[in-house]
Structure 1
C-alpha cells in the first residue's frame, strides 16, 4: 500500500565526516529498517581531528523542508539534533507545532560529553521554553541534565531527581544518559523516567575507545526508528540501548583520531 512503509525524519546538522549529526542518524535509520528523511539545520566541516567550520541554514529554508516533507511523506516519528542558534530553534519549534510528524525525540545538543557548552544563553532559553515541551522523549547526556535541572551531578540519586525536573519542563519521557568521561569506569548506567511515573535503569559496559563520535545522535535516532515502527517508548529505549552498545563494541577502522561508531554492527539486517 502506498506510503505505509515506516518513515521518520531527523532535524539536524550535516557533518562532513559522516560520524555524527544527520549522516549518523540516516545510517541508524537504515540499520533499523525505517525510511529516513532529513531536514538540514546546518552544515559542519570537519574530520576525526575536529570541527573547522559551520554554516547554519536560514529559517526560511528550514521551513521549506518541513513543508515539502509534510506534503508527500507519512512521517511517524522525528528527532532533533544540532540546532545552533535561537533563529534555528524557533523555526524548528514553529514547524513542529504546525505539522504532525508523530512522536518527537529531542537530543538536546547543549553540552558535549566532555562538559563544553555549545549554545548561547538566548538559544538555550528558547530550547527550554519552546522545544522541550514538545518532546515525547528527551535524551540529555549527564552534563546536559545538570544544566537543564540546575542540580549537582555528584549528588546522590542525581539522575532520578534530574529526570523529575526535566519532566516538569514538559518532556513526557526522559532518558538521562550515564556519565562516561573517564577510562577507569567499567559500566555506564542510564536512567529512564516514563510519562506514567514508572522508572528503571539500563546498564551496559563502558568501552574505552576513541571511536565514539555520534553516539548520542545514534541513540536518539534508534529510539526514533523504533517509535516510527510502532514500539512503545520503553520498548524503543531498551532496543536503542542494545543497538548502540553493539555499535560501540565493534570498532570500525575509519579515519585517524576520534572515529565513528559502527552502525552496521548493531543491525539485524
Structure 2
C-alpha cells in the first residue's frame, strides 16, 4: 500500500513530549509514515532541559541524504536546529533535493526556559529557512525575535506581525497566539492576502509540553497527504486542541500533550 511520508528534522527529547518523539507520534496518529533526522540530543524531562548535545554536520547531512535519496518526503517539518551552521546545512540539503511542503517551526526556547537556538542563529533562520518555507509556525516570542520587536501583545499586533513575517519569504504564516492573555486561543493564518483567524476556548492546564512541535508536525502531516493549507491548519488546530484538552499529568513538572487524544475522541463519537 502507498502512504504519505513526512520527515522531521529536529532535536530528540528524551522525555518523549516534544521534538522528534512528539513529531513521530503525531505523524503516526495522522496516518503518515514518519522519518527523522536528529540535529541534537537533549537530556530533558517535564522539569526542563538538562543538557543539549548537537550532532555533527556530517551526521546530520548523512541522515538527510539517507532518507531523501531513497525514501523521499511529501512534507518536511523542521524544529530545533540549534546553530547557524546546522540551519545553513539543512536549508542547502532541502534545496538540493527540491523538497516541497516545508513547515518551519522556529524553535528557540523550551517550556522551562532553556535556550534551544543560539542567538546568532536567528538571522540564519530569517535568511536561509524562511525564504524556502511553505509555512512557518512561530509563537509570539519567536515572532518578536524574528522581527526584532520587544513583544506582541494584542491580536491587532499579531496581524501586523504576520504581515511582516510574510515579507520575509514564506508562502504562509501561522502565528500562534497562545501567549496572549485572553480567554480564547487565537492563531492566525496569513497567505499574503487574507487573514484567517482560528479561535478555540483556552484550555486551563499547565501540561502543554510539546504543543508547538505537535501542531507543526500535524500541519506537515496534512500537507503530506495533499490537503490544501487552510484545511491542513484547521485539522492541525483541532488535533492540538484535543491533545491539550486531554494532556497527560506525568512527571513532576510540565506534562506533555496527549498525541492519541484526537483519534480517541473521534472514535468515541463514532467518527472515522
Deviation at 1:205, TM superposition (A): 1.6
Deviation at 1:86, TM superposition (A): 1.4
**Matching residue of 1:36:** 34
Where do 1:66-215 residues align within 5 Å?
Answer: 66-111=64-109, 118-151=116-149, 152-154=151-153, 157-180=156-179, 185-195=182-192, 197-215=193-211
**Matching residue of 1:249:** 245
Pairing partner for 1:65 from 32, 43, 63: 63
In the aligned structure 2, how far is the partner of 1:189 from the partner of 1:28?
22
Q: Which sections of structure 1, spanning at least 5 residues, go unmatched?
A: none
Deviation at 1:150, TM superposition (A): 3.4
Deviation at 1:21, TM superposition (A): 0.3
In the aligned structure 2, how far is the partner of 1:117 from the partner of 1:43?
14
Query: TM-score scaled by structure 2?
Result: 0.91
In the aligned structure 1, how far is the partner of 2:45 from the partner of 2:204?
21
Q: Which sections of structure 2, spanning at least 5 residues, go unmatched?
A: 268-272
In the aligned structure 2, how far is the partner of 1:46 from the partner of 1:27?
17
In the aligned structure 1, how far is the partner of 2:162 from the partner of 2:145?
12
Deviation at 1:111, TM superposition (A): 4.2
Q: Contact 1:178–1:189 (CA<8 Å) still a contact in 2? A: yes
Matched residues, number = 264
In the aligned structure 2, how far is the partner of 1:114 from the partner of 1:163?
26
Q: Contact 2:28–2:34 (CA<8 Å) still a contact in 1? A: yes
2:222 equivalent to 1:222: no
Q: Contact 2:3–2:32 (CA<8 Å) still a contact in 1? A: yes
DSSP 3-state at the match of 2:102:
strand
Query: TM-score scaled by structure 1?
Result: 0.92
In the aligned structure 1, how far is the partner of 2:8 from the partner of 2:155?
35
Q: Contact 1:106–1:135 (CA<8 Å) still a contact in 2? A: yes
**Matching residue of 2:260:** 264
DSSP 3-state at the match of 1:109:
coil
Q: Contact 2:111–2:209 (CA<8 Å) still a contact in 1? A: no
Q: Contact 2:48–2:114 (CA<8 Å) still a contact in 1? A: no
Q: Deviations over 1:92-147 (max 9, x none)?
A: 11111111332000001124568876433321111110111111001000111122
In the aligned structure 2, how far is the partner of 1:113 from the partner of 1:157?
25
* Greater mean deviation of Cα atoms: 35-44 or 96-105: 96-105
**Matching residue of 1:238:** 234
Deviation at 1:172, TM superposition (A): 0.9
